[in-house]
Each structure stands twice: as structure tokens, then as C-alpha cells.
Chain A
Amino acid sequence: MRHLLSAADLSLSEITEILDLAEEMSTVQDRPVKKLPALRGRTVVNLFFEDSTRTRSSFEIAGKWLSADVINVSAKGSSMSKGESLRDTVLTVAAMGVDALVIRHHASGAPWQASHWIDAHVLNAGDGTHEHPTQALLDAFTLRRHFRSADPSSAERNGQASDFTGKTIAIVGDLTHSRVARSNVLLLQTLGAEVVLVAPPTLMPSGVDSWPAANTTDFDEVLGACDAVMMLRVQRERMSGGYFPSAREYTIGYGLTRARLGALRPGAAICHPGPMNRGLEISADAADAANSLILDQVAAGVSIRMSVLYQILGGAEESVASPVREAAVR
């Protein structure tokens, strides 16, 4: 794997490999020495043009636990605030001889664009309203664990591919602005799950019928049929106009309220990529319920990112280096 730009680029076997390796990586958290030497001497730069707590810190921890050197560059407090372009910033950082760039940007496609400018590996840590592949991977990791603990024989019975077959997963809320939803739809489709998208008409993306997922505007209709519900954050910072009349009305139609919690299938998993707007898209009862996997998702973040960093940086470099980069290496 050279870059991680989109969940669509991952095959079923690649996803399974990443999830299995993340299982191994998760044991590092319980060890006295939380360090593996696999990426010693590699440099990873977290280039964040947008605010983030969990994604950036978990990429940082993941890199450090694999013994890579991790440097954080954020838009605030760097030359980006002086008006330097994305291209110049990326080229500047890459010219310092880094091995991988983890990029979050408010423009969709920025990491893809960057991967064409430089020879270093590029990992998409969220680009605009496009994709957030590591979030989808950690969601799949968390759900796979949940499904396996509910039915321990499932993994042995039919092989790993079967963990998601026959499972229905609803993704609910602000689909238009959600990169998490797009990556999840693509990844869950590859894994073989049935995905149902639920959103008010104003937040249903245009062209949603071409997505590999069913869609509906009636949340209550699908409640009893899902094995997992993924609640999405209402992204007020990306909303310019009135997508719904009031927060209260949104909650009534699309929030995971206490009443809807009761209508869920017993044992159905509740996920939320965070940060949560408690009381808006998810009630405190649902967020803190026994079958809520929200904190497991956070814990999975480091393991998944260790796994992805190892898959991308763990082996020999393919010989695609440009003359400039060759000279820098020497």
C-alpha cells in the first residue's frame, strides 16, 4: 500500500489485514514498554489544516509507539497562517525528507492532490466533506469486535469476510457534510454489510441513489432492523444555511433519543465518530448505554493507525523516488 487516500482503494483482503494487525497492535497498550521498533528512523508529519483532537493525537501516539519520529504541524502558528499555499506547504515539509504526511484539510481532495506533488506517502486524515478512511477502519474494527463477542463462532465458521455479511448498519444524520459517512459506506460495502442511510431530505447528499446503500428519511422505520447505528455529528461549522428548522426539531426526527434507544434491537451497537453534540443527535442515555461503542471507537483509533502506518511504512521503499529525493536520501 503506497498511500491511504480513500476507503474505496482498499480491497477486502487489505481491510482484513489491517483489522487483524490492529488486533495485534492493541496488545501494546497493556505492555510495560509501549514501543515497537518497526518504524525506527522513519519520520511522519501530521499536517493539520483543520482542528482535531482524537485523529491527530492518535496518529501521533501510533507513530511514536512504532518508534517513528512524529512532528505536528498545524495551520495555526505556522506559515499557512501567513498565506502560504497548500502546495508550497506540502513541498516544504516534504523537502525536509519526511517519509509520510498525514494530512487533514478542509478542501475535499487535498491529500489526493498532495500525493501527486511529492514522493512521500500520504495518509488522508479527513478532507473536507469527502473521506476519512482511518475513521471508517476503526469503526469497522470496533464493530467486528462487537459482532464477534456477540457471536464468537462467527469468525471461525465462515472466515473473516463473514463478520459483516447479513448485518445491517444504519448511518444517521448529517450525510451531506460527513466524510465519515462516505468512507464508511465504501468500506462497509466492501466488507459485505447492508448500509442504510438516514437523513432529513435537506441533509441527504445529491446523487445519493448512486451510492452502494439504501436510503430513507424515516429513522423509526429502520430502528428495529439494524445491527448497528452510526450517529453522525451535526456539523454546524460547515452549514451555511437552514438545513433544519431548529435543533429541537432535528432531535425529534433524527436524534437517538431515549425512546428510540428502547426501539433498537437488543444488543444493537451504537457508534458515534465524535465529538458528540449530546442532546442534539444523540441523547445522554444512548451515548452512555451498555451497547454504546463510542469509547471503544476512540481506543481503537491508536491500534488502527499503528496498523495503517506499518502497512504503508513497514517495508522497503518501492523505487519510485525522484532524483531530488534520491539526492536527499544520500
Chain B
Amino acid sequence: MDADQIARACARMAHQVLEANRGAAGLVLLGIPTRGVHLASRLAAAMAQVEGERIPVGSLDITLYRDDLRRNPTRPVGHTYLPVPVDDAVVVLVDDVLFSGRTVRAALDALGDIGRPRAVRLAVLVDRGHRQLPIRADHVGKNLPTAASERVSVRLEESDGVNEVTIARPSDADGATPSSFPSERTADADGAAAPGEDR
């Protein structure tokens, strides 16, 4: 996906979220750091153009709720910011890539400790399949068929200086710039490569 395709997908998703909610009333967008937060801001900007009102945008860090904390070195924790209380709101979780579904599972747990939303929806830029949990997205920018061993990387201007979605074979990805990828994708890929080990 190039920059134009990402922009079009975001615009369409913004409309879809508003349509499904019949307007902007009660909506809160919560991005999952790092790139989910950028996408949430983009969606909110697009929605504000349509509706003419600001949609609250926040971030929900899920590090402390991950199910693989004990399998990796200590992970840095991101920022959680709630612009409004989530009680009785319609929370739209926003992330860049939907893969195993474990990140979303953690986000649902985190949300449950913070409040009780009226409904929770999920918007992702890329759905690459290979779910390990019974989770699906409500709004998808692009369905991207991939092999489990491939690595999908989303780069956004806010954090990476460029807008693009690329698929790398594992051999390319290892040699390239692994540290620039969102770390959770690596862990999820590990989980997918060895499903027998998963709880």
C-alpha cells in the first residue's frame, strides 16, 4: 500500500465508523501505541471533516496486559491517555495490523479495568489473517493475504517519515532494519511460528 491508498482507506474507514454509529455521538477513538495512535488521530481528523465536531482521541497501552511478558525481556511501557471517561461510550480501538488477535485481547482486558464502555469496536488498517483468538475487526482498511512467516510492516509519516505498508519475507526482514519495526509484530510472529507452544 502506498500513501494514497492509506489515505483513501482511512477516509473510507472514517465514514464506515460514523455510519455504523449513526453519527459521532458517544464515540471515543483509542489507538494502540505506537502506530494505532497515529491512525486514530487521522481517523478523527477525517471524521471531524464529515461531522464538523471533534471526536475524542486517546491512547491505550496494552503492554502490561500482554500474555507473553514472561517470554521476552522486559518490555518498555507506552503511554495511556483517556480524553474522556470510557463508561457508556462507544470505544473504537484502532491499530495498524490485525494478526494473531492477542493485542486486541489484551486491549479488551485493559479497557475492562478502566471502565465499562457501551460497546467496543475494532478498526485496523491491515488485516493479515492468521488469527489465534476468536476476534474480528469491524472496520478494515485492507485485507492482506499473507503467509504466517512473512512480516507486515506499517510505516506512518508521524513515526517513520513515510506512509507505506510492505510485506517482507522473514529472511529480508532479519537483515533489514528489524529495530524499526513495531516490536509486537515480532512476538506475534514467534507465536504463529510455534503454535504448539501457545497456551
Query: Which residues of A pack against B, CB within 8 Å?
Result: 1, 17, 21, 24, 27, 31-33, 35-38, 66, 310-312, 314-317
Contacts and interface: CB of A to CB of B under 8 A. Distances in A.
B114 A316 contact: no
B184 to A, nearest CB: 14
Contacts of B69: 38, 314-315
Contacts of B71: 316
A316 B190 CA distance: 15
Contacts of B70: 315-317
22 contacts: A1-B74, A17-B76, A21-B76, A21-B77, A27-B80, A31-B113, A31-B114, A32-B113, A32-B115, A33-B113, A33-B114, A35-B113, A36-B113, A38-B64, A310-B64, A310-B74, A310-B77, A311-B74, A314-B69, A314-B74, A315-B69, A315-B73
Interface in B86-127: 109, 112-115
B8 interface: no
Interface of B: 61, 63-65, 69-80, 109, 112-115
Contact of B72 (A17, A33, A315): A315
B114 A37 contact: no
A73 B156 CA distance: 51
A56 B139 CA distance: 48
Contacts of B76: 17, 21
Contacts of A317: 70
A301 to B, nearest CB: 19
B79 A24 contact: yes
Contacts of A32: 113-115
A33 B111 CA distance: 10
Contacts of A66: 64
A37 B68 CA distance: 12
A37 B64 CA distance: 6
B17 to A, nearest CB: 26
A315 B77 CA distance: 12
B80 A24 contact: yes
A17 B73 CA distance: 15
Given A31-B113, A31-B114, A36 B65 contact: yes
A33 B116 CA distance: 11
Nearest to A33: B113
A31 B80 CA distance: 12
Contacts of A33: 112-114
Nearest to A32: B115
Nearest to A42: B70
Contacts of B72: 315-316
A314 B75 contact: yes
B113 A315 contact: no
Nearest to A17: B76
A310 B61 CA distance: 15
A316 B77 contact: no
Contacts of B79: 24
A315 B69 CA distance: 5
A36 B109 CA distance: 10
B73 A24 contact: no
A315 B75 contact: yes
